[in-house]
Structure 1
Amino acid sequence: MKKLIKCAGRRCLRMSWVFLSVMVFSGLFSPPVFGNNIRVDGKTHVVGFSGDTAIIEVYLRWDNSWRDDFNWDAAWVFFKYKKRGLENPWQHAYLGSSGHVLSPAAGNEDGGYAYMVGTNSGKVNGLYVMREGISEGNVSVRLQAKWPLKGTGLTKSDFGEALNEIYVAVHAIEMVYVPYGAYYLGDAYSNKSFAVGGTDAVVIDTEAAMTLSAKDGMSNVSLSASYPKGYAGFYIMKYETSQEQYAEFLNSLTLAQQKARVANNDFANMKRGDYVFGNLHTPNCRNGIVFIEQRQANTPAVFGNNLNPANDLFSVDDGQTLACNYMSIEDMIAYCSWSGLRPMSELEYEKACRRFYPQEPDQGEYAWNTNSGINRLSGLSDLNYRGDQREQALSYLKNVNSGTSNSINGPVRCG
C-alpha cells in the first residue's frame, strides 16, 4: 500500500493519489497481484420493470478476486442516469435496499456472489458486490439492480417502448474490506506519534468519543463518536483513482463543474486531443487526459485518454490504468461526492496498514516492512508495457515510485 501524499493546489504531484473509504459495516489486504482491471461488458441498460421499479442489468468482471476468513475484495457499483439532450445533467440513481440479483456469468471462476448496500442519509448510493463464500479467482458476474423511480420524477413511459429514452451509466471501483477490531495507533517512538504518557502506543478498541495525546509537545486531539476511528469495519479503495476513472467522472459533470475540475478549461477554443492538465499540446507528468469535443456552446465537454499522442485516443497504451495526478483536495472531495464515497480518516489509514492486534508496532516501522526494503524506480526505462494495463517494473525488485531525482516524472499503473 502506498503512502498518502497531501496535495496543495494543482501541481504535478508524482503520488497525488487518493484512497477512499466508505460506509461502515461490522465484520488485510489482498495478496500481491497486478491491478485487477475492473470492466463492464456490453451495454448497461434498463431491461424491465417491476411496478415502479426499473431493473438495470450490467455484466461486471475483474481479476484476482478473493474472500478468506477475515476479509475480501468487492466492487463498489453505482449508477448515473440522464434524459436525452445535451442540456440534461447526469443524476445519481438511488437503488432499492433489497431484491438485487447476482448470478455468475461466462468466464466466472469459483463461486457465487452476494452484495451489501451502501447507504447515506437513508438513501442507497450503490452496492458492494463480493464473493459469497471463501474462494478466489477471476470474477464475471451479472447484476440486476433494482432502481425505484419514486422521487426521480420519472415514470415507466419516460423510457419509451424500447426502454432506451433514458441513458443509464454504471461505474465500478475495486474495494477491500478492512474488518472491525482493535489496533495500535502510533508506535510511541516516532516524532509526534500518538502515545499514552509518551511511552506506550495507543490501543483503539472503540468508536466512542475519545481524546488522544501525542509525543513531543503536540496538543491533545478530541474526537467525537461520529469520527471514523478504524475500529469498526470499513471498505477502502484497493487502488488509486485511475485516469480512466477520472475521465469518466468528468464526463458526467455539468459544464461549470468540469471547468472547476481541470486546469485547461477554455473548451470553446480547445481542439480534439488537447491536454487538460499541464501543457496543452504535450502529455505532462504522464497524465494523458484530453479534451475531445464540446458539441454545442454552453454544454458539457467530452474527455478521453491519449497518453501516447502517436496513436488514436483510447489506444491500449493511453494511460487509462495509470494513477491520476494533478488532483487537489477539492478534486478529491468532488470525486467522493460524485461516487457516494468519503475520504478515509487518518486513523482508518493507519488501521489498514497495521498488523493484527495485539502485535505491537516496531519502533519506526513501515507498513511495507522496513525502509531498507524500498527500491525506487529510476526512470521510464525501468518499465515494461508503458502506459497500458500490463505496465510493470522490468525487475520485481523495483517496488516504489517516489523521490525527486532519478525517478519517473509521473505516476505508474494503479496498484
Structure 2
Amino acid sequence: MLYFSGRFLPPPVTLWGLFCHQSFSFLPILMKKLFSFLLSGAFVFGVVTATYANNIQVTNISLENLNNTNQTVMIQFDVSWENSWRVSAGPSNWDAAWLFVKYRANSGDWQHALLTGTAPNVGGATVSVVPDSVGAFLYRSGNGSGNVDYTGVQLEWDYGSGGVTESDVLDVQVFAIEMVYVPQGAFYVGGTTGSEVNKFYAGGGLSSVSYQVTSESAITVANTAGNLYYDVESGSTGGDQTGTLGADYPKGYGAFYCMKYETSQAQWVAFFNTLTAAQKANLDITGVTGKNTDAESVRNGVAWSGGSASATTTFPDVAANYIANLYVAAYLDWAGLRPMTELEYEKACRGPVAPKAGEFAWGSANIGTEAYTLSNPGQPTEWITNPAEGAGNAWYQSTYGSTSGPIRNGIFAASAVHKNREETGGSYYGIMELTGNLYERCISVGIVQGRVFTGQHGNGSLTITGSHDVAAWPVGNEGIAYRGGSYANASEYLRLSDRYDAASVLTGGNSRIGFRGVRTVF
C-alpha cells in the first residue's frame, strides 16, 4: 500500500473481465451428505453457475445445512479478487465484494434470493448482510493489501420466502461486484478559482468559495449565505438554480459503497441473460434505442439474436456504453444497488480534501496529452504501452488516438509506470475511471426530477416489462447529471467540478455514457 501526502494510491490492477459459467449437477456431489434429506423429498439441485467480472471470481458453489423447519439453506462458495486493501490511515477505507444470488426453480424465471441475517465471517474477512436482505458485503477484517481468496463464504438463503419447495430442481447463480467503501465525513464541492462550468459553490459568496457538506440534513439551493449554489453558463444545462435537497437525498456525508469500476459489458450481459424474453425485448441495447446493431459499434460488442437466447459480447472487460437511462435503472434495481448523486460523485473523487482549481478525479489539474498506443485491444490483457509519466492518465479526446470508444476497466492502474494516484487515474478512495472513458450518470441537483430522489435501493426484482420499480427514482430521461467526461470530450469536460451537462435530457443509448452503482451503508 503506497501513500503520498496522506492519500491512497490504488495498487496496480490486472483485470481479466471474463464471465465464467460452471454448469454441473449437484446431486452426485451432495448425494452422500444429503442422503437423509433426499429420502424425505429434500432439494434436488440443478445447475449452479459461478460468475465473475474484473477478475473477481466466485467458485465452488454448494448448498449446505438444509433446514426444512425454517426453510433455509446455506449457499457456500469461494470468492477471490486481486489488489484488495484495507487501511486505517489516509482514506481509512477498504474495497469489498457486493454479493447477491439469483435462482430459478424447475427452469422457470430467474428470481432474486432473499437472505437471512446469518452469514458467518470467514478467515480474515467480514461478511455483512444488508438490512433489506438482498445481498451482503465481503471485505477484509483488518489492514492489509494484495490478492485475497476467501474460502467457504456462506450466505443463508430464506428459500421459503420465494415459494421454493424441497422437491424443486434449482439453478443458482452467485454474483460478485467489486466495490469501494467511502466513509462518513464532511467534504467540499466545487468552488476554487478554476473555470469549471456551472460548478457548485457557497451561496452568498464568490464562485471561488467551496461549499462544505457537513451532514445529511436538507440543503437549500439559493444564492444566499449558508446555502448551495451554482451559475449556469449560456448553452449549458447546469440546472434551475433553485429547490431543496431533502433529508433523504443522499448528499455524500453518510458512508456508502461505490462500484470500483464502470459497469462492464460482461456485467451487463450477465444481467441481461437472467431476464425473461419480454424483459429482454424491452432492454435490448442492440435495438433502435441502443446501438441498433449486433455488430461491434464504438467498442460495444454485445449481440443478441432475440427471444430467450443469451446475449454475448466480444468486449467483456470494456465499460458498457449505449445503455439508455431506464436500462441503467433496471440493472441497478436488479443488482440491489442505486444511482449515485452529484454530491456523492464529488465525494468519491475528492474525499475530504479541499478542492483545487481545474482538478481531475486524481486530485490535480495535471493531465497527459499524448495519444496512447493500445496493446492487445479487446483482450483481457488490453493495456496502454505509453502511459503518461508525471501526469494524470485518462482516456479522452487527446489520448484515445485511433481507438474511438471506451476501454478496459482499470487499464491505467495496470499500465501506469508509477503506481501513484495521478498516473493510475485513481480517486482519493481508490475508485477508477471517474475521469474520462465514459460519462458517469448521477442524480442531478439541477432539476426537480432529480431532487426528489430519496436514495432507496433496488430490491433485485423488475416489473414484467423489465422496468425498475423503485419509488422516487427518475422514470424518464430527466433528473440525470452527466459528470466526468468521456473518450470523445476535451479535457475541460473531464474536470471534477464541471457541471456542463448537469441537467441535460438525453434519450436512447449513447456511445459516450456509462454508469456505476452505489449503496448506502446503514
Which of 198, 205, 218 is the equivalent residue of 2:205? 198
- Point out the structure with the larger strand share: 1
Matched position secondary structure for 1:352: helix
Alpha carbons of structure 1 residues 216 and 154: separation in structure 2 relative to 1, 3 Å = closer
Quote the Cα distance in structure 1 between the aligned partners of 2:246 and 2:14.
36
Which of 153, 170, 183 is the equivalent residue of 2:174? 170
Quote the Cα distance in structure 1 between the aligned partners of 2:134 and 2:403.
37
Quote the Cα distance in structure 1 between the aligned partners of 2:197 and 2:302.
39
Between the two proteins, the alignment pairs up a number of residues equal to: 337
Matched, 1:31 2:10: yes
Matched, 1:56 2:75: yes
Matched position secondary structure for 2:321: coil
Matched position secondary structure for 1:321: coil
Which of 388, 392, 396 is the equivalent residue of 2:387? 396
Quote the Cα distance in structure 2 between the aligned partners of 1:287 and 1:77.
26
Q: CA shift at 1:32, angstroms?
A: 4.1
Quote the Cα distance in structure 1 between the aligned partners of 2:142 and 2:200.
38
Output one character per residue of 1:161-201: Cα deviation in whole Å (capped at 9) or x when no partner. xxxx1111011100000011000111154443222223221
Alpha carbons 2:287, 2:293 under 8 Å: kept: no
Alpha carbons of structure 1 residues 332 and 208: separation in structure 2 relative to 1, 3 Å = same
Letter in 2 for 1:117: V
Q: CA shift at 1:102, angstroms?
A: 4.2
Quote the Cα distance in structure 2 between the aligned partners of 1:363 and 1:400.
18
TM-score normalised by L of structure 1? 0.75
TM-score normalised by L of structure 2? 0.60
Alpha carbons 2:182, 2:256 under 8 Å: kept: yes
**What does 1:248-287 align with in structure 2 at a 5 Å threshold?**
248-264=270-286, 277-280=291-294, 282-287=295-300
Quote the Cα distance in structure 1 between the aligned partners of 2:189 and 2:14.
29
Output one character per residue of 1:213-232: Cα deviation in whole Å (capped at 9) or x when no partner. 32436623311000000001
Q: CA shift at 1:278, angstroms?
A: 4.4
Which of 59, 68, 80 is the equivalent residue of 2:102? 80
Identity %: 36
Alpha carbons 1:384, 1:391 under 8 Å: kept: yes
Matched position secondary structure for 1:350: helix
Gaps of 5+ in 1: 1-27, 105-111, 159-164, 267-275, 308-318
Q: CA shift at 1:45, angstroms?
A: 3.7
List, as ranges, runs of 4+ consecutive aligned residues in structure 1 with deviation greater than 4 Å: none
Alpha carbons 2:357, 2:365 under 8 Å: kept: no
Q: In the alignment, which residue of structure 2 is the partner of 1:347?
A: 343
Alpha carbons 1:29, 1:178 under 8 Å: kept: no
Alpha carbons 1:35, 1:414 under 8 Å: kept: no
Quote the Cα distance in structure 1 between the aligned partners of 2:59 and 2:148.
15
Alpha carbons 2:190, 2:210 under 8 Å: kept: yes
Matched position secondary structure for 1:411: coil
Alpha carbons 1:53, 1:146 under 8 Å: kept: yes
Letter in 1 for 2:72: T
RMSD: 2.4
**What does 1:8-407 align with in structure 2 at a 5 Å threshold?**
31-36=10-15, 37-50=54-67, 51-69=70-88, 70-85=92-107, 88-97=108-117, 99-104=118-123, 112-119=124-131, 123-142=132-151, 143-158=153-168, 165-189=169-193, 190-196=196-202, 197-199=204-206, 200-212=209-221, 213-216=228-231, 219-264=241-286, 277-280=291-294, 282-291=295-304, 300-305=308-313, 307=314, 319-356=315-352, 359-375=353-369, 377-378=371-372, 382-397=373-388, 399-403=393-397, 406-407=401-402
Matched position secondary structure for 1:180: coil
Quote the Cα distance in structure 2 between the aligned partners of 1:216 and 1:337.
33
Alpha carbons 1:80, 1:91 under 8 Å: kept: yes
Alpha carbons 2:119, 2:129 under 8 Å: kept: no
Alpha carbons of structure 1 residues 154 and 207: separation in structure 2 relative to 1, 3 Å = same
Matched position secondary structure for 2:133: strand
Matched position secondary structure for 1:214: strand
Alpha carbons of structure 1 residues 390 and 216: separation in structure 2 relative to 1, 3 Å = same
Letter in 1 for 2:395: N
Q: CA shift at 1:258, angstroms?
A: 0.9
Output one character per residue of 1:50-105: Cα deviation in whole Å (capped at 9) or x when no partner. 342111112111100000011000000000010123xx2101001112x213435x
Gaps of 5+ in 2: 1-6, 16-53, 222-227, 233-239, 411-522
Quote the Cα distance in structure 2 between the aligned partners of 1:126 and 1:211.
34
Quote the Cα distance in structure 2 between the aligned partners of 1:233 and 1:92.
25
Letter in 2 for 1:352: A
Quote the Cα distance in structure 2 between the aligned partners of 1:175 and 1:395.
28
Quote the Cα distance in structure 2 between the aligned partners of 1:192 and 1:240.
24
